[in-house]
Structure 1
């Protein structure tokens, strides 16, 4: 079972929008594949999209799921684990899943969802404290890190592929998500902060270029590898929303080239961190979704099911051009082809 995680510790790189469209398109093109989407983000934007988006009661539907007993979300599952964090209780993770197609007819029926939850922020301090508890003979950090792995072990034979969306941080619940994945999809923007974000990402996940050996002892990579656990490999670098940065003379184009050079250098020095052996194999360019994206996310609608023409969003009439919509589909297809 392949587990993909969408992550960058920099905000605004388009993780959730790319995750939503990619998951839906993959499921649509592979109707016999069983797909699980996991939203490890307190904002739960991915879950709201799956459950209807802004215009189709996505928020209300998510609150309904969170109001059940047990609470049908990642927060509900973590709430179960908190009282006895270092032992695995008797539970069925299926009790926490949602079938988004029952709320949103735009979603393929072969997708299940473990929804996001604002409880994650409240739980983070407690989880982090527990992970740093000293108990002789127990690796408390790895016991906490394995919470999501414990859950997926129950359904390993029921799903073919798992997609995990994360928030822009490296908090303890984000580390739980990343440690569960075997492949990393890293969206970046065409700005210098995204170049720094890539460098930061490799420091945080792989322990590269840390400022001091002091940090190495406590790094995510060191602790995971000391427990004989493997790190996820970078599978796709998605250069996102590049439309406004086009042009060979553009300073942004220079940044994009610098990002490619950085990735190429890392492939040469640390090939084990990648599933690809050249930049061309691993980088996908995604142009800005513009109005098509705004409409799709307001309606909780994959691009391939979204109509073109004049549409109503809230109280506004907007125009979705068919050629723009097709460009968006083509961009997502470029990602899906690499999965």
Structure 2
């Protein structure tokens, strides 16, 4: 069965989409015989935008290059909205007007109202004998999409040919009552993929949304990008909107045995100030770079807070894969925590604006739309090496 990873945090701006973008591309580059499928289940479509041409805009009020490429190069039936209707209805062809009708805001879910009661899970989507949904039908290779829509342009790089994306363009039509059948069909669809496929699912900060439940109940490994801001950390456990990540996981766990599948596989501290480029070990926290001392202490504090709850009342341990096997705080830090340093603003902006992941970003002068910069080869080389090490850590 294909490995499945979901990137999640209920704090907007935590780096989920950016890290998913960088690591999915890096994984595809590292493993040329593996097919990497990125499914964009975020309302903001940031992963789609970065993979399909970047966030650059020809003018201030114009659509981003990546969003425009995805819209021009795919139809509604071929994007995530078509996949979600197929998962909800079992119909693998085009959407009828009736299929497309989902009540509520934000494509079927109103985050400001109580969730509708979950439908009785007795329809047996997985036991009806229906053919599994073909995820490849809803996937495109960004390298092909850019070639078709942009005719290759003048870009001095090539995205990995084994990297695929199921594009989102801001519509996620899935209602709460449709989640049970959609989960069962997505599990069956993932199980039907060849073993050389890896699925990476991006979500957004609405952890309680139907599409987030779909991701948490279909993917097995949860990657948690996390800043070292204490307020962002606290929001994982206490969120007045009801979207606190661990509260949502606990609620899903209580639905029925085996309903929640995703367990924390890796916590990736994001945008950490670095002291030098060499890999480091900090009382169990293994990083592909050496962080500033103040950052080391804050990371260890967060690790230790999680471990103390973990050790005290089983509140967290069950949401970490192999959590019960960690016999000490050092083991806990070593198993679950890594990080990505704060990159040069020039490098990171160029990567996102161009839609060019760091692993294939060229050094030297680059110009596109309003962007004109020079990428230092030494700075880029160090960052590429760190992304490579982080990729190996996350997808181990």
Q: Which interval holds the TM-score relative to the shorter structure?
A: 0.7 to 0.9
Cα–Cα, structure 1 residues 228 and 234, in superposed 2: closer, same or farther, change >3 Å?
A: closer
1:261 matched residue in structure 2: 304
Q: TM-score, normalised by structure 1?
A: 0.80
Distance 2:66 2:200 in 1: 20
Cα–Cα, structure 1 residues 108 and 272, in superposed 2: closer, same or farther, change >3 Å?
A: same
Question: After TM superposition, where is structure 1 displaced by more than 6 Å over at least 4 residues in a row?
Answer: none
Distance 2:335 2:381 in 1: 23
Matched, 1:286 2:327: no
1:281-339 superposed Cα distances (whole Å, 9 cap, x missing partner) = 32112111222111011111121221223322422322322233223223322321121
Distance 2:213 2:139 in 1: 21
1:18-60 superposed Cα distances (whole Å, 9 cap, x missing partner) = 1111011111111111221111112211112221213493222
Cα–Cα, structure 1 residues 204 and 81, in superposed 2: closer, same or farther, change >3 Å?
A: closer
Which of 319, 322, 335 aligns to 1:273? It is 319
1:146 matched residue in structure 2: 184
Which of 72, 75, 79 aligns to 1:73? It is 79
1:151-200 superposed Cα distances (whole Å, 9 cap, x missing partner) = 32342x26431111111111111110111111010000111122113333
Contact 1:36 1:111 in 2 (8 A): yes
Contact 1:7 1:15 in 2 (8 A): yes
Contact 1:267 1:273 in 2 (8 A): no
Distance 1:333 1:116 in 2: 27
Contact 2:339 2:390 in 1 (8 A): no
Distance 2:4 2:261 in 1: 12
* Structure 2 residue matching 1:71: 3-state secondary structure: helix
1:100 matched residue in structure 2: 142
Contact 2:84 2:182 in 1 (8 A): no
2:65 matched residue in structure 1: 57
1:236 matched residue in structure 2: 266
Matched, 1:220 2:256: no
Contact 2:252 2:260 in 1 (8 A): no
* Structure 1 residue matching 2:161: 3-state secondary structure: coil
Distance 1:256 1:280 in 2: 12
Bigger mean CA deviation after superposition, 95-104 or 167-176: 95-104
Contact 1:8 1:168 in 2 (8 A): yes
Structure 1, unmatched stretches of 5+, are 132-140, 208-218
Contact 1:295 1:313 in 2 (8 A): no
1:83-109 superposed Cα distances (whole Å, 9 cap, x missing partner) = 579575765433222122213462211
CA RMSD of aligned residues (A): 2.7
2:248 matched residue in structure 1: 204
The count of aligned residue pairs is 306
Distance 1:184 1:168 in 2: 14
* Structure 2 residue matching 1:108: 3-state secondary structure: coil
* Structure 2 residue matching 1:103: 3-state secondary structure: helix
Within-5 A mapping of 1:1-339 = 1-55=2-56, 57-66=65-74, 68=75, 71-82=77-88, 88=125, 92-104=134-146, 106-120=158-172, 123-124=173-174, 127-128=175-176, 130-131=177-178, 142-155=180-193, 157=194, 159-170=196-207, 171-199=209-237, 200-205=244-249, 207=250, 219-223=251-255, 226-243=256-273, 247-248=292-293, 250=294, 254-268=297-311, 269=314, 270-275=316-321, 277=326, 278-289=332-343, 290-338=345-393, 339=395
Deviation, structure 1 residue 230: 4.8
> If each structure's helix is expressed as a fraction of its own residues, which one has the higher value?
1
* Structure 1 residue matching 2:359: 3-state secondary structure: helix
Contact 1:303 1:329 in 2 (8 A): yes
Q: TM-score, normalised by structure 2?
A: 0.70
Contact 1:166 1:174 in 2 (8 A): yes
Contact 1:195 1:258 in 2 (8 A): no
Distance 1:57 1:117 in 2: 13
Contact 1:34 1:158 in 2 (8 A): no
Cα–Cα, structure 1 residues 23 and 243, in superposed 2: closer, same or farther, change >3 Å?
A: same
